[in-house]
Structure 1
Amino acid sequence: MLIGEVSRRTGVNERLLRYYERQGLITSRRLPNGYRDYDESVLEKITQIRALLAAGLPTRLIHQVIPCANGPSSLAPCPGVLDALRDRLTTLDQRAADLAEARTLLRRTITRTEQQSPPPDLRP
């Protein structure tokens, strides 16, 4: 499948797909006309790459993790990267806790502000 089709099906722009290829995250064959030709399996791999990037992993670590991937949502431990993955998970857990705390504070502030504000029909 050509790069435009991969882009359309994954929502990842062509420039980023070429970057993934330069980083060794995905591969393609070259057609006689020089166009990139990707296997169907690249779609799942791109989904995995995007998820790992969203988790904050750098491409150099993703390059090591991708060969250990068993499916779009499950990763087997990879030799030499388990500590880095655990560290990243700890960081994400802390960020999630921080966001939950901020969310609670925001809800509390909204509630208090609504309680202290006059009803809309009594405002000047």
Structure 2
Amino acid sequence: MRIGELSARTGASRRSLRYYEQQGLLVSTRSPSGQRCYGDDHVQRVALIQTFLAAGMSSRTILQMVPCMTEPNMDRAQQALTVMNQERTRLSSTIDSLTTARETLERLIDVNLTFLANTADD
């Protein structure tokens, strides 16, 4: 499939797909006329890249995990596992912070609702 179809199937812009390729996160083949060609497996790869980027991972960090996802060997698997564990720890910390912020916000909402309800009675 060409870049336009991959863009349509993944929701990623053509510019993003070119960027992923530039960063080494995505590899295409080229047609005789020089157009990028992608396989069906690229749809899942783009979704994974988008998920990791949305979680705050840098393209550089994702790149450290990519070789293990495509061509695993002992060294790559160990390096990728180290990066993955670091990212899991970072994500867990972020989730904990977000949970605390949400709980605090919920308490403030309750305080304000109670205040408004009591004020309306006056």
Shorter-chain TM-score bucket reads 0.7 to 0.9
Give the superposition deviation at 1:33.
1.3
Report the equivalent of 1:94. Answer: 96
Question: Any unmatched runs of 5+ in structure 1?
Answer: 71-75, 120-124
TM-score computed with the length of structure 1 as normaliser: 0.76
Report the equivalent of 1:122. Answer: none
**Per the alignment, in what secondary structure is the counterpart of residue 81 of structure 1?**
helix
Question: Any unmatched runs of 5+ in structure 2?
Answer: 71-76
Could you list the per-position Cα deviations for residues 34-84 of structure 1 after superposition, in whole angstroms to 9, with x for gaps in the alignment?
1100011000011111111111111111112234449xxxxx883431442
TM-score computed with the length of structure 2 as normaliser: 0.77
Q: Distance in 2 between matches of 1:51 and 1:16?
A: 13
Percent of paired sites with the same residue: 35
Report the equivalent of 2:17. Answer: 17
Report the equivalent of 1:32. Answer: 32
Letter in 2 for 1:115: A
Report the equivalent of 1:42. Answer: 42
Q: Distance in 1 between matches of 2:119 and 2:4?
A: 54
Decide which moves more: 60-69 or 106-115.
106-115
Backbone CA RMSD of aligned residues: 2.5
